[in-house]
Amino acid sequence: MLYIFCPHCGLRSQNEFAYGGDATVKRPELNKEISDQEWNNFVYLRKSPRGKHLELWHHISGCRQWIKVERDTSTHEIFKTYKADELTE
């Protein structure tokens, strides 16, 4: 079971969190003209890298904050965690 550092609460076990997928996806701006292809990429396509990956976790049984976790998907090593408003670019 992973041990995840919540930037708001500290080290907590994985069972307090829900996984939220790729954190690098950026939602297209509202009211913007956008091609089918671009929209498809946003809704359906996700990278599933082996190695370092920035992903979202939701501390649902804790502070209810969404956080970003930089994790190695093959070794589970967690390098760093960030608050939702960090790493926005």
Partner 1 sequence: MSQDFRLDNIGMVNRNKKISFTFNGKKYFGYEGDTIASALIANGVHLVGRSFKYHRPRGFFGVGVDEPYAILQLERNNERDPNIRATEQEIFEGLEVKSVNCWPSVNFDIGAINNFLKMFFPAGFYYKTFMWPPSFWYKIYEPFIRMAAGFGEASIKHDKERYEHKYEYCDLLITGSGPSGLASAYAAAKNGARVILAEDKPRYGGSLLTSDVNIGNQTGAEWSEKIITELKSMSNVIVKNRSQVFGYYDHNMLVMSERISDHLPKTQKYLPKQRLWYIRAKEVLISSGSIERPLVFGNNDTPGVMLSSAAKEYMKVYGVLVGKKPLIFTNNDSGYETAVEFKKNGINPLILDTRKEPSSDIITEAKNLGIEIKYSYVVVAAKGYKKVKSADIAKISDNKKDLSNIENIECDCICVSGFWTPSIHLASQSGNKSEFNEKIDAFIPKKSKQKENTIGSANGKFTLEETINEAFNKGYEVSNKITENNNKVSIPTVVEKKSTEHDKFWCVPLPKGKSYKRFLDFQNDVAVTDIELALREGFRSIEHVKRYTTLGMATDQGKTSNLNGLQLVSDIENKVVPQVGHTTFRPPYTPVSIGAIVGREVGKHSKPTRKSPMHEWHEKNNAVFVDAGVWLRPRYYKQGNETLFEASKREAKNVRKNVGVCDVTTLGKIDVKGPDAAEFLNRVYTNAWLKLPVGKARYGVMLREDGIVMDDGTTTRISENHYHMTTTTAQAANVLSHLEYYLQLVWPELNVNVVSTTEQWAGAAIAGPNSRALLMKLFPNTDVSNEALPFMGYKEADLFGIPAKIYRISFSGELAYEVNVESDYGNFMWEKIIEVGKEFQIQAYGTEALSTLRIEMGHVAGSELDGRTIPHDASLEGLVSKKKDFIGKRSLSRSAFTKPDREKIVGVVPLDKTTSIPEGSYIVKDPKAKLPNPKLGHVSASCWSVEYDNPFSLAIIKDGKNMIGQKLFAMSPLKNKTIPVEIVSSHYVDPEGKRVRA
In the complex, which residues of this chain contact partner 1 (CB under 8 A)?
1-3, 13, 18, 20, 27-28, 30-31, 34, 36, 39, 42-44, 56, 58, 60, 64-66, 75-76, 78, 84-85
Taking residue 52's Cβ as centre, other Cβ atoms within 10 Å add up to 13
What does the alpha-carbon distance between residue 4 and residue 80 come to, in Å, rounded to a whole number?
9
CB of 13 to partner 1, least distance (A): 7
CB-nearer residue toward partner 1: 13 or 49? 13
Shortest reach from residue 49's CB to partner 1, in Å: 18
Spatial neighbors of 32 by CB under 8 A, at least 6 apart, are none
Q: Are 79 and 70 in contact (CB under 8 A)?
A: yes
Q: Least distance to partner 1 from the beta carbon of 76, Å?
A: 5
Nearer to partner 1, 1 or 89 (CB): 1
- What is the full DSSP assignment across 44-59? H-----SSEEEEEEE-
